[in-house]
A and B are shown apart, each in its own frame.
Chain A
Amino acid sequence: MAEAGWRHQAFAGWGRVARAEMDAARPERVADVARALAAAGPEGIIAYAGGRSYGDAALNAGGRAILTSRLDRLLEFDPASGMLEAEAGVTFDDLRRLFLPRGFLAPVTPGTAFATLGGAFANDVHGKNQDQAGNFGAHVAWVDLMFPSGELRRITPEDRLFRATAGGLGLTGIIVALSLRMTRVPSRFVELQERRVADLDEFVAALEEARSKSHYSVGWVDALARGRTLGRGIVESADPAPLENGDSFKEPRRRSVPLDLPGIVLNPLSVGLFNALYWRRVPAAGRRRRVTLDKFLYPLDSITGWNRLYGRRGFHQFQCLLPEEASHHGLRAILETCANSRAASFLAVLKTMGRDGVGLLSFGGRGHTLALDFPATSGVDELLLRLERLVLDHGGKIYLAKDARLSPTSFASMYPGLGEFRDVLAAVDPASRMASDLARRLEIKVGPP
């Protein structure tokens, strides 16, 4: 039995490949966070929030975790400036429900509303407006960070610690609250334009046009298409829509996946069929329609527990960013490798990014980002290794919030801010209280020899 206030529990990343048993505390007040931090033993401690990181970023096998779900209070909102202060466990779903009716939207949001504000900052997440708005951290005015020592301090973008905490994977301490600049929206709807693209060249050209003209842009790739159809897909671009008479909104009904599907359900044949149908869903001439921001921003949230579609074995997410000058060649190489391996992928997303993140380990910069998912079958590790090399060869980087397999040497060459990040960690956490499976796997805390 765990000691009072701690629960021994099995956790998993959203991809359900990375798993860990941890002793977890669930503080409801700020003072309880300090008490939980003080209890960190030699195995260390990490914040576990919405559980939407795909890999091992929020896992600390054999150690401790602080669940932030009950730190869920809104602290201040100024409708004139849009500044919102909130505790770290507030989710994008809370913001969607409470602020969209008032005409305010999170300035940057990940593809699931079940992520928390603290998690969004710790991973410096991005959304479908990265070209225009950059990452989440760029919209944060301050963060209340509880140092591993238990000291609570407000840090601002001028601080080096702020840049280490944005995208810092929870390793600088526990994010307790933050201040976010919300964006005004004219209505709860976007004007969405969907367009079928026949191959990679057309895809990249369509994204190029969309990034300069539209507020949001994103593309879906048929990752099983080969040869002449390599890189075919659908490009979506959207802009906030003006308020219309008779606009009404009903909370969408949520369905859930009641059980783990057998692994065999997602195979190259079934996914190939799905992809072919999905591609033809949009008429050849394209289409325009008005959809809610809720549906446009969080398409998968209507299916609770969609990760169970992949069965008990789980799946890997792979997301890379390739710099613009290398991206055309690199994307072709990655998509060819993926298609030829017949590794079934149906959540394949290609979009542009335009801005650097504010963090030392942020996933950002100008280029193309491609996200793929692979059921965790026997050949998947080898495939991920091949993709990792391709990303390195093209000067790109892999997104840590999604990753469970990257090697420490590749990580070090992809993230030049690592040296400075290590310096900050040595200063803020000399006793090395913060720990995670990701930090151990990537040897983040081991300095250069």
Chain B
Amino acid sequence: MSRPIWLVLGASSSIARAFARLAAEQDADIILAGRDLQDMERSAADIRIRGGGQVEVRPFDAVDRASHSAFVEALPPGRLNIFLCFGLLYPQEAIERDPSLAEPVIAANYLGAVSVLSRLAPRLAEAGAGAVVVLSSVAGDRGRPSNYVYGSSKAGLNAYLQGFRAKLAPHGVSVTTVKPGFLDTAMTFGLPGMFLVASPEACARACLAYAAKGREVAYFPAFWWLIMTIIKAIPEPIFKKLKL
């Protein structure tokens, strides 16, 4: 059997770097896709030295949706696995000061993901196998006053992925929605109110395991399932009085 290929969308983040290193160690070939080509070339070199195997770098911009068709068409033929981990977060206060900041958050987290995944769908179905792992967030489970623009973009993504999963299931392709709590990444570094922060390496390891098992929805770390189950169960009249 030929080596599996992982396409990493949003490849400049620490979580992408950790994921690609681990996947390469497990004998996968890697395609890094993102905006910062110079930076991705450094990551590609790193992965080659650590893991051996093929690593290539391709330009990809989640918010430049007009480019997505050409990007997908140019991908090598055959079976692909997808790790989608791009995302944009502006703190809610910043968006309240400047409401125009809401749009780029939605454009990256929701529109960008929908655009590229929808274009990948036909070839995933045709391959008849593969895994798609999408990094979403617990913030999509319920809109909280402290983070609801970001949360709503992830909620939209989660609903999209439910349908996407059902659509691809008959073709033997698994789709995993990963809902991490707080990850120790550049996006969250220095943000107030962080607790129980998990390392990108641990999350990447878990994502590979979800793909192998074909998990549908996974909270990471798993205890976030309990926290979010409680948060989702709070009736709206009470929830609106809580400062969450």
Task: Please list the residues of chain A having a beta carbon within 8 angstroms of any beta carbon in chain B.
Answer: 1-8, 25-32, 70, 73-77, 87, 98
Q: Which residue of B lies closest to A84 (CB)?
A: B49
Partner of A29, one of B39, B49, B50, B189: B39
- 4 closest cross-chain pairs (CB), A and B: A73-B46, A7-B190, A74-B49, A29-B39
Partner of B189, one of A26, A31, A74, A77: A26
Given contacts A1-B192, A2-B190, A5-B189, contact A28 B50 (CB under 8 A): no
Q: Which residue of A lies closest to B188 (CB)?
A: A7
Query: A389 → chain B, closest Cβ, in Å?
Result: 44
Contact partners of A7 in chain B: CB under 8 A:
189-190
- Asked if A73 and B190 sit within 8 Å, CB to CB, the answer is no
- Asked if B46 and A4 sit within 8 Å, CB to CB, the answer is no
Contact partners of B46 in chain A: CB under 8 A:
73-75
Contact partners of A8 in chain B: CB under 8 A:
190
Partner of A30, one of B39, B50, B190: B39
Query: A284 → chain B, closest Cβ, in Å?
Result: 47
Distance between Cα atoms of A87 and B43 in the complex (Å): 11
Partner of B49, one of A2, A27, A77: A77
Contact partners of B45 in chain A: CB under 8 A:
73-76
6 examples of A-B residue contacts, CB within 8 angstroms:
A2-B190, A4-B91, A8-B190, A70-B186, A77-B49, A87-B42
- Asked if A29 and B12 sit within 8 Å, CB to CB, the answer is yes
- Asked if A73 and B43 sit within 8 Å, CB to CB, the answer is yes
Contact partners of A77 in chain B: CB under 8 A:
49
Of A30, A70, A87, A98, the most chain B CB neighbours within 10 A belong to A70
Of B43, B50, B190, the most chain A CB neighbours within 10 A belong to B190
Flag whether B13 is at the interface (Cβ < 8 A): yes
Q: Which residue of B lies closest to A70 (CB)?
A: B14
Contact partners of A31 in chain B: CB under 8 A:
36, 39
Distance between Cα atoms of A2 and B39 in the complex (Å): 27
Contact partners of A75 in chain B: CB under 8 A:
42, 45-46, 49
Contact partners of B49 in chain A: CB under 8 A:
74-77, 98
Distance between Cα atoms of A153 and B46 in the complex (Å): 21
Distance between Cα atoms of A441 and B50 in the complex (Å): 41
Given A5-B186, A74-B46: 17 more A-B contacts, CB < 8 Å: A1-B192, A7-B189, A25-B190, A26-B186, A28-B13, A28-B17, A29-B12, A30-B42, A31-B36, A32-B186, A70-B14, A73-B43, A74-B45, A74-B49, A76-B49, A77-B49, A98-B49
Contact partners of B14 in chain A: CB under 8 A:
28, 70
Contact partners of A98 in chain B: CB under 8 A:
49-50
Task: Please list the residues of chain B having a beta carbon within 8 angstroms of any beta carbon in chain A.
Answer: 12-14, 17, 36, 38-39, 42-43, 45-46, 49-50, 91, 186, 189-190, 192
Query: B189 → chain A, closest Cβ, in Å?
Result: 5
Query: A11 → chain B, closest Cβ, in Å?
Result: 15
Contact partners of B42 in chain A: CB under 8 A:
29-30, 73, 75, 87
- Asked if A28 and B192 sit within 8 Å, CB to CB, the answer is no
Of A3, A4, A27, A73, the most chain B CB neighbours within 10 A belong to A73
Distance between Cα atoms of A430 and B17 in the complex (Å): 36
Query: A36 → chain B, closest Cβ, in Å?
Result: 11
Query: A174 → chain B, closest Cβ, in Å?
Result: 16
- Asked if A6 and B190 sit within 8 Å, CB to CB, the answer is yes
Distance between Cα atoms of A427 and B138 in the complex (Å): 51
Contact partners of A26 in chain B: CB under 8 A:
186, 189
Contact partners of A30 in chain B: CB under 8 A:
38-39, 42
Query: B43 → chain A, closest Cβ, in Å?
Result: 6
Of A5, A8, A27, the most chain B CB neighbours within 10 A belong to A5
Distance between Cα atoms of A31 and B12 in the complex (Å): 12
Of B17, B43, B49, the most chain A CB neighbours within 10 A belong to B49
Contact partners of A27 in chain B: CB under 8 A:
186
Query: B88 → chain A, closest Cβ, in Å?
Result: 13
Query: A396 → chain B, closest Cβ, in Å?
Result: 41
Partner of B186, one of A28, A74, A87: A28
Query: B197 → chain A, closest Cβ, in Å?
Result: 11
Of A27, A31, A75, the most chain B CB neighbours within 10 A belong to A75
Q: Which residue of A lies closest to B39 (CB)?
A: A29
Distance between Cα atoms of A75 and B43 in the complex (Å): 8
Contact partners of A76 in chain B: CB under 8 A:
45, 49
Contact partners of A6 in chain B: CB under 8 A:
190
Q: Which residue of B lies closest to A23 (CB)?
A: B190
Query: B30 → chain A, closest Cβ, in Å?
Result: 14
Distance between Cα atoms of A32 and B38 in the complex (Å): 13
Distance between Cα atoms of A4 and B88 in the complex (Å): 14
Query: B53 → chain A, closest Cβ, in Å?
Result: 14
Distance between Cα atoms of A1 and B45 in the complex (Å): 37
Contact partners of B39 in chain A: CB under 8 A:
29-31
Distance between Cα atoms of A4 and B186 in the complex (Å): 10
Distance between Cα atoms of A311 and B186 in the complex (Å): 33
Query: A103 → chain B, closest Cβ, in Å?
Result: 15
Distance between Cα atoms of A74 and B52 in the complex (Å): 13
Query: A34 → chain B, closest Cβ, in Å?
Result: 13
Distance between Cα atoms of A3 and B94 in the complex (Å): 12
Distance between Cα atoms of A204 and B43 in the complex (Å): 48
Partner of B36, one of A2, A4, A29, A73: A29
Contact partners of A1 in chain B: CB under 8 A:
192
Q: Which residue of B lies closest to A99 (CB)?
A: B49
Distance between Cα atoms of A202 and B12 in the complex (Å): 58
Q: Which residue of B lies closest to A177 (CB)?
A: B42
Distance between Cα atoms of A6 and B191 in the complex (Å): 8
Distance between Cα atoms of A70 and B38 in the complex (Å): 16
Contact partners of B91 in chain A: CB under 8 A:
4
Distance between Cα atoms of A318 and B201 in the complex (Å): 37
Contact partners of A74 in chain B: CB under 8 A:
45-46, 49-50
